[in-house]
Amino acid sequence: MTQRVAVLGAGKIGEALLSGMIRAGFSPTDLLVTTRRPERAEELRARHGVEAVSNAEAAKTADTLILTVKPQDMGALLDELAPHVPAQRLVISGAAGITTAFIEQRLAEGTPVVRVMTNTPAVVEEAMSVISAGTHATEKHLVHTEEIFNAVGKSLRVPESQQDAATALSGSGPAYFYYLVEAMIDAGILLGLPRAQAHDLIVQAATGAAVMLRDSGEHPVRLREAVTSPAGTTINAIRELEKHGVRAALIAALEAARDRSRELASGNG
């Protein structure tokens, strides 16, 4: 049986998911999107061949609803959807912080809800999507959610109590790496390299390091030790990183992201 999937609030994450699903073999005719602006709907139609409908129409006709609006917009969207979502529709939330309980309280009793935290590498099928079941979501609902999110990368099931931490690690994670790359490009400029060259050197170093982290089976400490020669260059850099508290800064940063995810649970921003 064909399953219709609707992406409600198709912005950056919604479109990344949509395009990944289509590349993975979902038919655009089985996909619906909703947007706030008509121009955005037209853009998505032109790029992906998907139909844009109202939120109420999506709720009535799709078997699975994926909500990819900002946490602060979730309450209003759920209020709009509530009269139209038939019992037993699978509702998947992709919003940071918003709990399955928040959604369950606003929809019909017994609605299966799944919470997912994915990330932007979905656009290159390298997402990490962290999945948790709400009160009424069954194994079948989790498997269906995995089918969707595995189209754009890897997935992992976790208890919902770990979602805020997962958001801090993998949801926001790409931003930390971009930030580090940006800072290292600046360092290249300081050392006298042209910007384009500094960019290429650091991006390739990052890509190589990422592939080794993923494929070598080695612990990151071992990989770093292999780069760090006695009385060599790398240890001088590491000493500066330690002196400036970079490890402690990263731990504090991720803790702050986790705390913000918890705050967003209220849906009030």
Residues of each annotated binding site for NADP(+):
35
Residues 22-51 that bind ligand NAI (CB under 6 A): 34-36
Is 129 a binding residue for ligand NAI by CB under 6 A? The answer is no
Rounded Cα–Cα distance for residues 152 and 143 (Å): 15
The one-letter amino acid code at 73 reads D
Rounded Cα–Cα distance for residues 227 and 235 (Å): 9
Tracing tokens 């609006």 back to the chain, one arrives at 69
Partner whose binding site includes residue 55, from ligand NAI, ligand A1CAB, none (CB under 5 to 8 Å by kind):
ligand NAI
Is 118 a binding residue for ligand A1CAB by CB under 6 A? The answer is no
Is 99 a binding residue for ligand NAI by CB under 6 A? The answer is no
Among 50, 59, 77, 96, binds ligand A1CAB (CB under 6 A): 96
Cβ neighbours of 30 (radius 10 Å): 17
Among 22, 51, 62, 94, binds ligand NAI (CB under 6 A): 94
CA distance to 62, 156, 190, 203, per residue, from 200 (Å):
44, 32, 16, 5
Pick the piece of the chain touching ligand A1CAB (CB under 6 A) from 52-60, 74-82, 141-149, 166-174.
166-174
Indicate the angle between helix axes 195-215 and 173-190, nearest 10 degrees: 140
Rounded Cα–Cα distance for residues 178 and 196 (Å): 16
Indicate the angle between helix axes 220-227 and 195-215, nearest 10 degrees: 130
Is 145 a binding residue for ligand NAI by CB under 6 A? The answer is no
Among 99, 111, 132, 172, binds ligand A1CAB (CB under 6 A): 172
Q: Strand 127-133 and strand 64-67: pairing?
A: unpaired
List % helix, strand, coil for the chain (3-state, nearest 5). 60, 15, 30
Q: What string marks each residue from 69 to 88 as x (binds ligand NAI by CB under 6 A) or -? A: xxx-x--xx-----------
Cβ nearer to ligand A1CAB, comparing 32 with 96: 96
Partner whose binding site includes residue 66, from ligand A1CAB, ligand NAI, none (CB under 5 to 8 Å by kind):
none
Binding site for ligand NAI (CB under 6 A): 8-9, 11-14, 34-36, 55, 68-71, 73, 76-77, 94-96, 117-120, 171
Binding site for ligand A1CAB (CB under 6 A): 96, 167, 171-172
